């Protein structure tokens, strides 16, 4: 029997305030038509003043705990992916640990920007497979709009705030449930591509938080290439093909990139989970938010084969193949 990490619950949280494309067109020289046509984004959620990444994360975590029907006392590890931590230190994960009232176990952050959730899942899955943890809360949470340059129309129209969480539990299935859970994870990075997407600040460089800088077209080209590569790597590793997939849950950065990957994999468009229209790009939160959204809509059935994939600053990219 193989020990696997199974998703036993998931949840998401979006701040109340919604900013439409039309509202944005009052701030920068843009239009709803341009934003929707180029990216698929129609609106984004914006965290309230004083609402921190850890607050969004706690709300998503509570929803995931409720969905799993377990209490915080059952969690022995929190792995939180974010590029917009509450503070330079300590980790946002420890803030979440305290806010949830969790007094045991360990909590730490993982930083891989928009690939952060795939990295966090990879770390959590390895803790479970080696027996170091039994029940892990994996969170992607961002207040990404706080690091936007609201004068740069090339970036400020693309991002939003939010959080998503899943709970992984170690399980050894038998018979039809034998391969339920995470089948494999695949992560990559190439630091030479730093200039494609970065923040022009930080504690050791400028002493300020800085703002997002992006070469959109460069990332676009690399995303199409890298995402197809890593998706194939995950499928090949498990002796599967795109035709075997029931669902594709990509990082929600651009609808054109998402559709391109879907086509390359030979997956029908109705198997693509899309939230970018409503959530925009929420960086590390986009995949767990999309999982929670699809689960809430009753899309996933037991045994469904699901591919998660994403790319982000670093550059970093990765994929995770799992059976629901
Ligand atoms: O999550 C991490 C990974 N990030 C990504 O995957 C992002 C990947 N990149 C993209 O999604 C796309 O490159 C964008 C949506 C960012 C941009 O779409 P594009 O089709 O690559 O547009 P572009 O950058 O080539 O710009 C086309 C034109 C330019 O004008 P000119 O030079 O043709 O006159 C831009 O100045 O659109 C202009 N433009 C805008 N116009 C209206 C750029 N931003 C805007 C805007 N509104 N917000």
Is 251 an active-site residue? yes
E-assigned strand segments in the chain: 4-13, 17-20, 43-46, 77-81, 106-110, 135-143, 161-171, 181-189, 197-199, 212-214, 247-250, 305-312, 316-323
Is 281 an active-site residue? yes
319 shares a domain with 193:
yes
Domain of 61? 2-173
219 shares a domain with 143:
no
In this predicted structure, the answer to whether residue 208 has a pLDDT above a threshold of 80 is yes
Render pLDDT for 56-98 as a digit per residue (tens, 0 to 9): 999 999 999 999 999 999 999 999 999 999 999 999 999 999 9
Q: Which of 134, 151, 173 is the last residue of a domain?
A: 173
204 shares a domain with 113:
no
Render pLDDT for 240-294 as a digit per residue (tens, 0 to 9): 999 999 999 999 999 999 999 999 999 999 999 999 999 999 999 999 999 999 9
Domains in the chain, number: 2
Render pLDDT for 100-156 as a digit per residue (tens, 0 to 9): 999 999 999 999 999 999 999 999 999 999 999 999 999 999 999 999 999 999 999
161 shares a domain with 44:
yes
216 shares a domain with 131:
no
Between strands 135-143 and 161-171, the pairing is antiparallel
Q: Which of 173, 192, 217 is the last residue of a domain?
A: 173
pLDDT for the residue 277? 98
Residues having CB closer than 6 A to ligand 1 are 30, 34-35, 38-39, 114, 153-154, 157, 197, 216-217, 219-220, 223, 253-254, 257, 281, 311-312
In this predicted structure, the answer to whether residue 297 has a pLDDT above a threshold of 80 is yes
70 shares a domain with 30:
yes
Candidates 45, 211, 251, 295; catalytic one: 251
76 shares a domain with 160:
yes
Residue 312 alpha carbon, nearest atom of ligand 1:
2
Q: Whose CA is nearest to atom 47 of ligand 1?
A: 30
Q: Which of 156, 173, 190 is the last residue of a domain?
A: 173
161 shares a domain with 190:
no
Tell me how far apart the alpha carbons of residues 313 and 318 are, in angstroms, rounded to a whole number.
Answer: 12
| CATH number where 25 lies | 3.40.47.10
């Amino acid at each position: 029997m193989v020990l696997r990490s199974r998703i036993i619950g998931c949840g998401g949280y979006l701040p109340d305030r919604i900013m439409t494309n039309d509202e944005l067109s009052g701030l920068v020289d843009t239009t709803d038509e341009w934003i929707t046509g180029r990216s698929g984004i129609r609106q984004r959620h914006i965290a309230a003043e004083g609402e921190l990444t850890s607050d969004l994360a706690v709300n998503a975590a509570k929803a995931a705990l409720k969905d799993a029907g377990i209490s915080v006392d059952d969690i022995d590890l929190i792995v939180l992916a974010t590029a917009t931590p509450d503070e330079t230190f300590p980790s946002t994960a420890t803030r979440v640990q305290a806010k949830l009232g969790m007094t045991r176990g360990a909590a730490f952050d993982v930083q891989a920007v928009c690939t952060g959730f795939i990295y966090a899942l990879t770390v959590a899955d390895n803790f479970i497979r080696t027996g170091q943890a039994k029940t892990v809360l994996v969170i992607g949470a961002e207040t990404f709009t706080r690091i936007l340059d609201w004068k740069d129309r090339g970036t400020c129209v693309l991002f939003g705030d939010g959080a998503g969480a899943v709970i992984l539990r170690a399980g050894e299935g038998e018979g039809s449930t034998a391969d339920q859970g995470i089948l494999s994870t695949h992560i990559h990075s190439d630091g030479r591509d730093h200039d494609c997407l970065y923040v022009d600040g930080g504690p050791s460089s400028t002493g300020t938080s800085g703002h997002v800088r992006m070469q959109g077209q460069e990332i676009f080209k690399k995303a199409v290439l890298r995402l197809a590569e890593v998706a194939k790597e995950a499928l090949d590793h498990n002796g599967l093909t795109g035709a075997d997939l029931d669902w594709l849950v990509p990082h929600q950065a651009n609808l054109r990139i998402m559709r391109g990957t879907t086509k390359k994999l030979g997956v029908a468009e109705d198997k693509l989970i899309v939230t970018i229209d409503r959530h925009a790009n929420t960086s590390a939160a986009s995949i767990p938010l999309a999982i929670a959204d699809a689960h809430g809509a009753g899309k996933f059935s037991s045994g469904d084969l699901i591919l998660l994939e994403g790319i982000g600053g670093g550059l970093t990219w990765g994929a995770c193949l799992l059976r629901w």
